[in-house]
A and B are shown apart, each in its own frame.
Chain A
Amino acid sequence: MDKTINLARLRSAVKDKRLAGFKTIRPAKGGESKKGQSKSGQSKSGNTKPGLGKPSQ
């Protein structure tokens, strides 16, 4: 059995579908997927604000 897959055909098949966590995929140039948003976790510069215990977004 052929184990390869045509990803362009796959993209075409789901291009107008809403996939959880991902923006609706458009047949855009480059065909890249776009996440709905980036992580919303906490990271913070080394220069932390005084007294902030749990920096995040």
Chain B
Amino acid sequence: MLVDEAVRRSTAESVSLLSDAIGAQRPDLIAPLQHWIANLKSGPVRPAFFALYSDLVEAIFSDDEPAFQSAMKTIAEIGAEALVGARAITLADADLGPGMAVRFRRHVDDDPTTPLSIDPTSKEELRIASDCLTRTWNLLDVAAPELSSEIRALVRDVIFVVSEPGPGRLVFHGASTFYLWGSLFLNARMNRDRVSMAEGLAHEAAHSLLFGYSFGAPLVDNDVSERFASPLREDPRPMDGIVHATYVLARMHYCIERLLASQALNSAERDRLETAKLRRRSDYLQGLEVVSSHARFTPIGRALFEGAQNYMATAGTI
């Protein structure tokens, strides 16, 4: 079973549990929930469905009836649509649906210790980013078709945003979260060319892949209060984040290797990627050292991470 299908089926089972409980009190709400479940089982759905699922669960467990009613109202109104490929959109209701931008923002910006400063792109910036995304897909289709297919299988919405860094503020490059399954966020201004965007897609899709295999659960049993040096961030992170980062670095290295092995790059792109490849390996090894010393893997976490380790152990040597 494909990862996307597994996530949809797991979520459909969860919605079914909720539907039974909700229907016991409000039979009128069963129909939209059953329709939603059918959509989840029948094929890929927009990330909005997952945003609403997460909102519904959170409303129930935070005893927030207005939020519950709002989520249910939107669930009843949202329509399924035939999905063709990954859309290039921005963080706006015009793209995501009425009232959805604030829901998406809340899920992607859910860590009060590291608040994100993100905004929608302008129409012109979105057009430029969308054109770049098309060129990036074309590049990946030629140079790494297996990676391109995998990312396309995971991603429905590429949400371009802008984020202006300031002194001491976070620099936002991109993000992904299980609670918006099928979406990934990219800073349009940090991914202005096809090589940068290819790495960005590979990076965020790798997070999504891990989320999908684990159904959003941590890959380690380490306590979340434990903090470790990250190969990719200045701030110490929980071990689950270190495992994610190290795994993602291996996937980025793979993406770079595949691009370099193709004849699709110009000399400037090739030079950039040769340098980037060395950095990814160095950062991967830094992460690996921390993971090897401190990670207490779950079974699925160990299996997934071993895949990255096995690849990096032979990368560039064959």
| A contacts, CB < 8 Å to B | 1, 3-11, 13-14, 17-23, 25, 31-33, 35-49, 51-57
Contacts and interface: CB of A to CB of B under 8 A. Distances in A.
Interface residues of B, number: 80
Interface of B: 7, 10-11, 13-14, 17-18, 20-22, 24-26, 28, 53-54, 57-65, 68-69, 107-111, 114, 116, 165-179, 185, 196, 199-200, 203-204, 207, 210-211, 215-218, 224, 230, 232-235, 237, 240-242, 244-245, 248, 252, 275-276, 279, 283
Nearest to B218: A37
A41 B104 CA distance: 14
Q: Which 9 A-B pairs have the closest CB atoms?
A: A41-B175, A33-B61, A57-B241, A21-B216, A13-B21, A39-B177, A45-B234, A57-B245, A57-B244
26 contacts: A9-B25, A10-B22, A11-B63, A17-B17, A18-B14, A19-B57, A20-B7, A20-B14, A20-B215, A20-B216, A21-B216, A35-B216, A36-B217, A37-B240, A39-B107, A39-B176, A40-B176, A40-B177, A42-B174, A43-B173, A45-B233, A45-B235, A51-B275, A52-B232, A53-B276, A56-B203
Contact of A54 (B218, B232, B244): B232
Nearest to A37: B218
B216 A37 contact: yes
Given A37-B218, A48-B171, A52-B279, A21 B63 contact: no
Contacts, number: 200
Given A14-B18, A35-B179, A37-B224, 20 more contacts: A5-B68, A10-B21, A19-B18, A20-B10, A20-B13, A21-B178, A37-B240, A41-B174, A41-B177, A41-B204, A41-B207, A44-B171, A44-B232, A44-B233, A45-B168, A46-B171, A47-B234, A56-B203, A57-B242, A57-B244
A29 to B, nearest CB: 12
Contacts of B178: 21, 36-37
A41 B185 CA distance: 8
Contacts of A42: 172-175, 203-204, 232-233
A interface, over-half SS: loop
Contact of A46 (B22, B168, B204): B168
B274 to A, nearest CB: 13
Contacts of B169: 46
B interface, over-half SS: helix
Nearest to B22: A10
A56 B58 contact: no
B90 to A, nearest CB: 16
A53 B210 CA distance: 21
A7 to B, nearest CB: 5
Nearest to B11: A20
Contact of A41 (B65, B108, B168): B108
